[in-house]
Amino acid sequence: MRSRTSARAQITDVAARARVSPATVSRVMNGHASVAADLVERVLSAADELGYRASPVARSLVLGRTQTIAVMVPDMANPSFQEVLRGITRAAAADGYRVLVADSQEDVTQEPGLAREARRHCDALVLCAPRMSDAELAALVPALAPVVLTHRGPTPGVPTSSADYRGGIAALLDHLAGLGHRRLVYLAGPPSSASHRRRLEGIAAHVADHPGLSVDVLPCGVGFEEGYAAGEAVRRSGATAALAFNDLVAMGLLSALHEAGVAVPEEVSVTGFDDIPFARWTTPPLTTAAVPHGDLGQEAWRRLRALLDGEEPPPDVLVHPEVQVRASTGPARAEGAA
């Protein structure tokens, strides 16, 4: 009898002990339901006695799967995408899957090729591509199946897990209007960004429903540096409040206003979007629309796992951001005061 401390047991050893073929052992270890219950018991008992553990590589070859998925994000330095990845990784690990990460580093031209390459090495893909155009996305996704999208609106034939960016920006506008702000600016995200376009829709609808309210759109971007660079334009605008595309942009703007001696929120109120972990620690703490990015990641995995199992995925997820009111917003300054 081979002891647990001897050389590693092979599938042929288990087959001999259980008096079955190696193929039967393989089917049992890989969970095939076609094997009779008494044979399953014999094989598992023999495997336990011999200390046999199936090779992950061999199992992948038998199943035609790697037990690995890929996640493509536009920028791993952005805490929002880090939280999405954390949610996916934890949920996938609980189901025995590993996660590989592809980072396009905010280069939207590289995203289609990077997504295809990542998919070739894995069983499936979570595509977090909020900057990709709708036309490019529609041309790309058929080659990536099974695939789930995050940070996108409903997409025909592809499960999605996203946030209501239109509703989130409208909620921030309601908050600022309630404080008496009538002249505002929006520091815009990338023109190709789907979530940016949803924000613009929300702004346009809100302005149409609130006579006397104006929101000027200022070109900006997605990072701290772009928000900082927009500081002078915000000061020149005469606006009493600025809505930033995301929290990183808002933090850059706060820094620029502080250096220029502009008091926040006494002279200019500032809001972000996302509620990344640093948002509550800015000076002053940042008012923002909170998006549960970890939940988005977990929901993306639920839909991808269903596709991997040949099941109908749950309906698309659309979470509604909640405004977190902090000290970066306050009553609008008196007209003409600066």
User: Domain for residue 105, yes or no?
Assistant: yes
Asked which of 7-11, 206-210, 289-293, 321-325 is least confident by mean pLDDT, the reply is 7-11
Residue 187 CB: number of other CB atoms within 10 A?
Answer: 27
Nearest to 293 by CA among 165, 188, 151, 98: 151
What is the C-alpha separation between 330 and 243, in angstroms, rounded? 13
Q: Summarize pLDDT for 184-205 with one digit per residue, the tens.
A: 999 999 998 999 999 999 999 9
Q: Summarize pLDDT for 256-269 with one digit per residue, the tens.
A: 999 999 999 999 99
Same domain, 279 and 131: no
What is the C-alpha separation between 255 and 250, in angstroms, rounded? 9
pLDDT at 61 over 50: no
Residue the block writes with tokens 């749950």: 314
Q: 248: which 2 tokens?
A: 């990183």
Same domain, 151 and 299: yes
What is the C-alpha separation between 295 and 301, in angstroms, rounded? 10
What is the C-alpha separation between 115 and 121, in angstroms, rounded? 10
| CATH number for position 21 | 1.10.260.40
Same domain, 183 and 266: yes
Q: What is the largest CA-CA distance in the chain?
A: 92
**Residue 80: C-alpha distances to residues 117, 196, 198, 220, 292 (Å):** 24, 15, 18, 18, 9
What is the C-alpha separation between 199 and 246, in angstroms, rounded? 11
User: Domain for residue 188, yes or no?
Assistant: yes
Residue 327 CB: number of other CB atoms within 10 A?
Answer: 15
User: Domain for residue 1, yes or no?
Assistant: no
User: Domain for residue 328, yes or no?
Assistant: no
Of 277 and 334, the structure prediction assigns the larger pLDDT to 277
Same domain, 158 and 298: yes
- Enter the pTM of the model: 0.80
Same domain, 58 and 175: no
Residue the block writes with tokens 């058929």: 142
Amino acid at 271: T
User: Is 184 buried (19+), middle (13-18) or exposed (0-12) by CB count in 10 A?
Assistant: buried
User: Domain for residue 327, yes or no?
Assistant: no
User: Domain for residue 276, yes or no?
Assistant: yes
DSSP 13: H
Same domain, 73 and 159: yes
Same domain, 169 and 249: yes
Number of independent structural domains in the chain: 3
Q: Summarize pLDDT for 202-252 with one digit per residue, the tens.
A: 999 999 999 999 999 999 999 999 999 999 999 999 999 999 999 999 999
The DSSP bridge partners found for residue 148 are 126
User: Domain for residue 157, yes or no?
Assistant: yes
User: Domain for residue 256, yes or no?
Assistant: yes
Residue the block writes with tokens 């339901």: 33
Same domain, 133 and 244: no
Supply the pLDDT for residue 64. 54
The domain of 28 spans 11-63
**Which residues lie below 8 Å from residue 174, measured CB to CB, with a gap of 6+?**
206
Same domain, 195 and 86: no
Q: Would you place residue 126 in the very low, low, confident or very high pLDDT band (cuts 50, 70, 90)?
A: very high
| CATH number for position 275 | 3.40.50.2300
Same domain, 171 and 234: yes
Asked which of 38-47, 271-280, 292-301, 325-334 is least confident by mean pLDDT, the reply is 38-47
State the DSSP string of 71-107.
Answer: EEES-TTSHHHHHHHHHHHHHHHHTT-EEEEEE-TT-
pLDDT at 295 over 90: yes
Same domain, 158 and 170: no
What is the C-alpha separation between 267 and 245, in angstroms, rounded? 20
Same domain, 229 and 85: no
The DSSP bridge partners found for residue 218 are 187
